Amino acid sequence: MTATQRNTHGKRNTMLVKHADVLVTMDDARRELRDAGLYIEDGQIVAVGTTAELPQTADEVLDLGGHLVMPGLINTHHHMYQTLTRALPAAQNAELFGWLTSLYKVWAHLTPEMIEVSTLTAMAELLLSGCTTSSDHLYLYPNGCRLDHSIEAAQRIGMRFHASRGSMSVGQRDGGLPPDAVVEREADILKDTQRVIEAYHDEGRYAMLRVVVAPCSPFSVSRDLMRESAVLARHYRVSLHTHLAENINDVAYSREKFGMTPAQYAGDLGWVGRDVWHAHCVQLDDAGIDLFARTGTGVAHCPCSNMRLASGIAPVKRMRLAGVPVGLGVDGSASNDGSHMVAEVRQALLLQRVGFGPDAMTARDALEIATRGGAAVLGREDVGALAPGMAADFVSFDLRQPAFAGALSDPVAALVFCAPSQVAHSVINGRQVVKDGVLSTVELGPLIERHNRLARQLTEAAA
């Protein structure tokens, strides 16, 4: 708890959630309770149980009859600035490397205002679709852009945030993929990464903000920067994140340039362990899965992006059976092009079935990946489940919508099988950020107008 959560008299702030039709706890026993709720003090869950078992009053009472309540979803991979370049005609029909090459020249014109506004927009979409904790991977810093601009947006909108200080240092001049104009000097990258860790990283339980060290990918930074980033991250006990084994060209680049598979390269650089998670891993081979399982290295699975760029089907079932921590990510909005978490959960289930059969992933597996799975990948033990001692991060879905009609024999599965839904309520750290389907921290109309104006400005600058 923090001092700011205490009310003016020093008394604890309490919240009671009652009469939820179904409460999905995602606790160790995976309990699902009927006519149930939560009792919360100062942003922490104190009790979980049936309505009859809980205290009867609190400072704030949410009667959620007709709703499903579950832990807030956790997004483990995103590039929020890309919400400015969704569905761009030049990048609609390309695979990863071609797609990146068309977009780098646009992104070179990003401004601080664009980072701030696009982060707010991406977070609004995430929040309304059930996400309460998100990471973001910002790896371009042209024209005075800084990680601070996305951090300020997260603080304003009230989302729990893992801000990744990304980077690119190997431009075309040095055999990399990005244009030289969007790469930074490695000394500057490390210095600024250290600055943002010292300024913002909170390693405490219930932290609303953590910083992550995240060179963009093996094809845009040097071996030295990967190694030095790992040293820096471990000195400060912060997590490491990058893209790995996204498609066959990515694997071919690794074999040609480094003489090893992406997983071998990660192992060689010290980029394995419980403090590391890699995005995609679509082309992770059996030896790679074994290495990740042995070391506890996490994976951010991004099904929509993998389909959009025709990267392939990540072997999520095999990874999970082997013991690899797997979370879910919507990925950047230029390759999805949505930040809808429930839609991503649904696609995770559908895509595994296309690849590996009808029992490859159940609805509850998919929801577990998006909650507990994401928490494990981000190195958190205080979110992803509803149990005493956990942060009060939860969402509710109104089961009386047309989308769920006829599906209430199993409302938990309905959330995944039926059309993607938006939340009625979202509470983060005990604070109600979405109420009756409306974001309470940021006014959406003016935000979207400003976002669209900046998106136009960005594409015009690049033209």
Which residues form the interface with Zn ion (CB under 5 A)? 279, 331
Q: Whole-number minimum distance, CB 331 to Zn ion, in Å? A: 5
- Nearest CB to Zn ion, comparing residues 279 and 434: 279
- Give CA–CA dist 170/156, Å, rounded: 34
- Nearest CB to Zn ion, comparing residues 81 and 265: 81
Q: Whole-number minimum distance, CB 334 to Zn ion, in Å? A: 10
Q: What are the two backbone dihedrals, phi and then psi, of residue 233, each rounded to the nearest 5 degrees?
A: -60, -40
- Nearest CB to Zn ion, comparing residues 75 and 441: 75
Q: Whole-number minimum distance, CB 157 to Zn ion, in Å? A: 21
Give the Å distances, CA to CA, from 106 to 86, 204, 232, 457.
Answer: 12, 38, 31, 10
Q: Whole-number minimum distance, CB 93 to Zn ion, in Å? A: 19
- Nearest CB to Zn ion, comparing residues 299 and 414: 299
- Nearest CB to Zn ion, comparing residues 67 and 280: 280
- Nearest CB to Zn ion, comparing residues 43 and 327: 327
- Nearest CB to Zn ion, comparing residues 121 and 220: 220
Q: Whole-number minimum distance, CB 107 to Zn ion, in Å? A: 13
Q: Which residue carries 């024999």 as its tokens?
A: 409
Q: Whole-number minimum distance, CB 335 to Zn ion, in Å? A: 7
- Nearest CB to Zn ion, comparing residues 138 and 360: 138
Q: Whole-number minimum distance, CB 244 to Zn ion, in Å? A: 10
- Nearest CB to Zn ion, comparing residues 41 and 331: 331
Q: What is the 3-class SS of the chain, one letter each residue?
A: CCHHHCCCCCCCCEEEEEEEEEEECCCCCCCEEEEEEEEEECCEEEEEEEHHHCCCCCCEEEECCCEEEEECEEECCCCHHHHHHCCCHHHCCCCHHHHHHHHHHHHCCCCHHHHHHHHHHHHHHHHHCCEEEEEEEECCCHHHCCHHHHHHHHHHHCCEEEEEEEECCCCHHHCCCCCHHHCCCHHHHHHHHHHHHHHHCCCCCCCCEEEEEEECCCCCCCHHHHHHHHHHHHHHCCCEEEEECCCHHHHHHHHHHHCCCHHHHHHHCCCCCCCEEEEECCCCCHHHHHHHHHHCCEEEECHHHHHHCCCCCCCHHHHHHHCCCEEECCCCCCCCCCCCHHHHHHHHHHHHHHHHCCCCCCHHHHHHHHHHHHHHHCCCCCCCCCCCCCECCEEEEECCCHHHCCCCCCHHHHHHHCCCCCCCEEEECCEEEEECCEECCCCHHHHHHHHHHHHHHHHHHHC
- Give CA–CA dist 65/135, Å, rounded: 32
Q: Whole-number minimum distance, CB 406 to Zn ion, in Å? A: 37
Q: Whole-number minimum distance, CB 287 to Zn ion, in Å? A: 24
Q: Whole-number minimum distance, CB 297 to Zn ion, in Å? A: 17
- Nearest CB to Zn ion, comparing residues 18 and 78: 78
